[in-house]
Chain A
Amino acid sequence: MRLGWVFAVLVAAVLIAVTSAVAIGSVRLPMAGLVGWAPLEPAHQAILWNVRLPRVLLAAVVGGGLAVVGATLQAVFRNPLADAGLLGVSAGAALGAVLAVNAGWVSNVFLALPAAAFAGALLALLLVYALAHLAGRPTLHGLLLTGLAVSAVASAGLSMLLVATEEFRVKTVLFWLAGGLEGRSWPHLGVGSAFVLSGSVLLFLLARPLDLLSLGEDEAASLGLPVHAARLVFFGVAALVAGAATAVAGSVPFVGLMAPHALRAVVGPPARRLLPAAFLAGASLVVVADLGARSLSDRYDLPLGSVTAFVGAPYFLLAIRRSEERA
């Protein structure tokens, strides 16, 4: 019963967040038109259908996906601070994005930026996988350190490319790196949600092996789980989801840490409860954060990643302090 209420609240939060974000924007759309009581004039139709609605829905998908990835990796690594950055995905996506900007594809080719970012994320993941397996089956720490090394190399490549990128184009990279959803439309939502939603559903279907992994490698193996193969599957799917989310929204930090961490205390650690709860919380969080990013300043769209970081960092400091007090 209690669990039912929790999910009811989470679903309501998503609906309220999405409805508010669709209703509020830099152009005031008449409420009667929004709820279908009166026809919207053509320009307002275009704003609602082409600009605002896909942006809000994409925010929900990105937030949900990042939260599910965070919950998954935290279970696999048995560490509440784990996120997709550990697998080299974020740095790989950033390198792909800056490459597309540097080459001028972003100005000339539709969807070039998210496509290049996604390709960068996948290449980083494959590189982590290949390097970690050079000396046989890697340990968890081996994978982790390989991911950090690949991230460092990708970040170094990003810096080198940035130096060689035209000033005007650099700003596009900076906007992307700071996270944001300005200008995203239905094709971005289509591409992003295909990977994020299917990956999130797959992770939910794998909730039981994920729970076993969260017990520790030896315990999972003693219960018959092929630990190495299971871990790779979780990393692969998590990286696909994180890569797709990052590709369409840039860097949106702390969502993958904050949403699962907050919900674990409420719904408990079992993945079949935590993953959907984290998805809903992450979706609400990013929809509200994006609403703030586009409406707090008349002069600038604030970077979405900065808004989530401003909320997420204090939350985490507070959580760490509470954890230490309990210890």
Chain B
Amino acid sequence: MTSSRPFLFGTAGPWTVALATLATAPFTAAGFAQDPPRRIASLNLSADEVLSAILPPSRLVGVTRWADDPESSNVVGRVPSSARRFPKLDLEQLVDLRPDLVVVSEYTDADVQRLLEQSGVSVHRMQGLASMAGVRQAILDLGRAVHEEDAAAGVVRDYDAKLADVARRLEGAPRPRVLYWSGGMTAGAGTAIASLIECAGGVNVGGELGVAGIAPPGAERAFMSDPDVVLVTTWPDAAASVRAHPLLGALRAARENQVLAMPNKLLVALSQYSADACRDLASRLHPGRFGDPR
């Protein structure tokens, strides 16, 4: 996903065969392809959220500090307290945790992955999270990596059901044009935000503008796009800054009170909670279809 979701990552990588052998020999005998990994650590919030749902608590030994951040996480209070919280990417602490599998993000440096593998730790990379279908597949892939295929399939069944319910409710509904706005940046085609907007029955204006990735389209182009809805996060001042903007404040959407502030933890969700995010946004864009007020 291309939005403000926190990840731990960094840059990183045997000198001599002797040293590498010395360091890795104790670990590498247990390949996780044959044996279920018993000690699993996560270096990204998406994995924190999925692993919390599919793993017995005793097997989750490390998560990011974001897992306890109510602004960013959908699993606050549900990550076992026994799991070490990583406030930063600390390879020493991570190796000391003796995990047999570390789940990294799409954005984790290949050098960090190599260094972990050289230290005898298997690595699973979560990727393809820029679409609802990609998130679904990533959950199944992670379930396979930790040998919890059935639990992952259960999570995906629930995910599919929520998305199917949203799709059923939105049948035939008009599609409002939605401009995502975050500090001058919008989301172009192929981003997770674009996927979320489309899932919720909207049209992503960033895609119409030809924006690639998360990028600044410029306030003038944003103004001329005349969106029906401006989508922002609930972070302080996000909606107010749109209304106070000399140009964006004059948007029809701003004048008609169509600046929608969505909880950040849902807006940036890249896990099974993406389905909840889709439902949340859909209910705001199409309140009549969900029987609840905006």
A51, A109, A111: most-surrounded residue (chain B CB, <10 A): A51
Asked if residues A182 and B12 are in contact (CB atoms below 8 Å), the reply is yes
Point out the residues of chain A lying under 8 angstroms from B26, CB to CB: 42, 45
Point out the residues of chain A lying under 8 angstroms from B185, CB to CB: 167
Point out the residues of chain A lying under 8 angstroms from B89, CB to CB: 182-183, 301
Please give the number of chain A residues whose Cβ is less than 8 angstroms from any Cβ of chain B in the complex. Answer: 47
Asked if residues A110 and B107 are in contact (CB atoms below 8 Å), the reply is no
Contact with A along B90-111 (1 / 0, CB 8 A): 1111011010000001111111
Asked if residues A163 and B215 are in contact (CB atoms below 8 Å), the reply is yes
Taking the complex as formed, is A190 at the interface, i.e. its CB lies under 8 A from any CB of chain B?
yes
Kindly identify which residue among B4, B88, B91, B110 contacts A300, using a CB–CB cutoff of 8 Å.
Answer: B88
Taking the complex as formed, is B9 at the interface, i.e. its CB lies under 8 A from any CB of chain A?
yes
Say how far A28's CB is from chain B's closest CB, in angstroms: 9
Asked if residues A183 and B95 are in contact (CB atoms below 8 Å), the reply is no
- Chain A 27-85 residues near chain B, CB threshold 8 A: 27, 42-47, 49-52, 54
Contact segment of A169-177, A209-217, A271-279, A284-292: A169-177
Asked if residues A184 and B88 are in contact (CB atoms below 8 Å), the reply is no
Point out the residues of chain A lying under 8 angstroms from B13, CB to CB: 110-111, 183-188
Say how far B286's CB is from chain A's closest CB, in angstroms: 28
Point out the residues of chain B lying under 8 angstroms from A188, CB to CB: 13, 111
Asked if residues A49 and B91 are in contact (CB atoms below 8 Å), the reply is no
Taking the complex as formed, is A5 at the interface, i.e. its CB lies under 8 A from any CB of chain B?
no
Taking the complex as formed, is A164 at the interface, i.e. its CB lies under 8 A from any CB of chain B?
yes
Kindly identify which residue among A42, A45, A300 contacts B87, using a CB–CB cutoff of 8 Å.
Answer: A300
Q: A112-B110, A168-B107, A171-B9 are in contact. Are A182 and B91 (CB under 8 A)?
A: yes
Asked if residues A47 and B92 are in contact (CB atoms below 8 Å), the reply is yes
Kindly identify which residue among B12, B25, B107, B214 contacts A185, using a CB–CB cutoff of 8 Å.
Answer: B12
Point out the residues of chain A lying under 8 angstroms from B118, CB to CB: 50, 185
Kindly identify which residue among A42, A46, A299 contacts B88, using a CB–CB cutoff of 8 Å.
Answer: A299
Contact with A along B210-223 (1 / 0, CB 8 A): 00111110000000
Taking the complex as formed, is B114 at the interface, i.e. its CB lies under 8 A from any CB of chain A?
yes
Q: A27-B96, A43-B95, A47-B96 are in contact. Are A167 and B214 (CB under 8 A)?
A: yes
Chain B contact residues: helix, strand, loop or mixed: loop
Q: How far is the CA of A220 from the CA of B103 in the complex (A)?
A: 60
Asked if residues B213 and A166 are in contact (CB atoms below 8 Å), the reply is yes
Point out the residues of chain B lying under 8 angstroms from A301, CB to CB: 10, 88-90
Say how far A7's CB is from chain B's closest CB, in angstroms: 28
Point out the residues of chain A lying under 8 angstroms from B164, CB to CB: none
Point out the residues of chain A lying under 8 angstroms from B115, CB to CB: 50-51, 183, 185
- Chain A 139-165 residues near chain B, CB threshold 8 A: 163-165
Q: How far is the CA of A298 from the CA of B84 in the complex (A)?
A: 13
Say how far B135's CB is from chain A's closest CB, in angstroms: 16
Taking the complex as formed, is A128 at the interface, i.e. its CB lies under 8 A from any CB of chain B?
no
Point out the residues of chain B lying under 8 angstroms from A187, CB to CB: 13-14, 114
Asked if residues B22 and A183 are in contact (CB atoms below 8 Å), the reply is no
Q: How far is the CA of A54 from the CA of B215 in the complex (A)?
A: 37
Taking the complex as formed, is A98 at the interface, i.e. its CB lies under 8 A from any CB of chain B?
no
Kindly identify which residue among B11, B19, B22, B108 contacts A184, using a CB–CB cutoff of 8 Å.
Answer: B11
Point out the residues of chain A lying under 8 angstroms from B5, CB to CB: 168
Taking the complex as formed, is A222 at the interface, i.e. its CB lies under 8 A from any CB of chain B?
no
> What are 25 of the A-B contact pairs (CB < 8 Å)?
A27-B96, A45-B26, A49-B19, A49-B22, A51-B119, A54-B15, A106-B111, A108-B110, A110-B110, A112-B111, A164-B213, A168-B9, A168-B107, A172-B107, A175-B10, A182-B11, A183-B12, A184-B111, A185-B111, A185-B114, A186-B19, A187-B114, A299-B65, A301-B89, A301-B90
| Chain A interface residues (CB < 8 Å from chain B) | 25-27, 42-47, 49-52, 54, 106-113, 163-169, 171-172, 175-176, 180, 182-190, 298-301
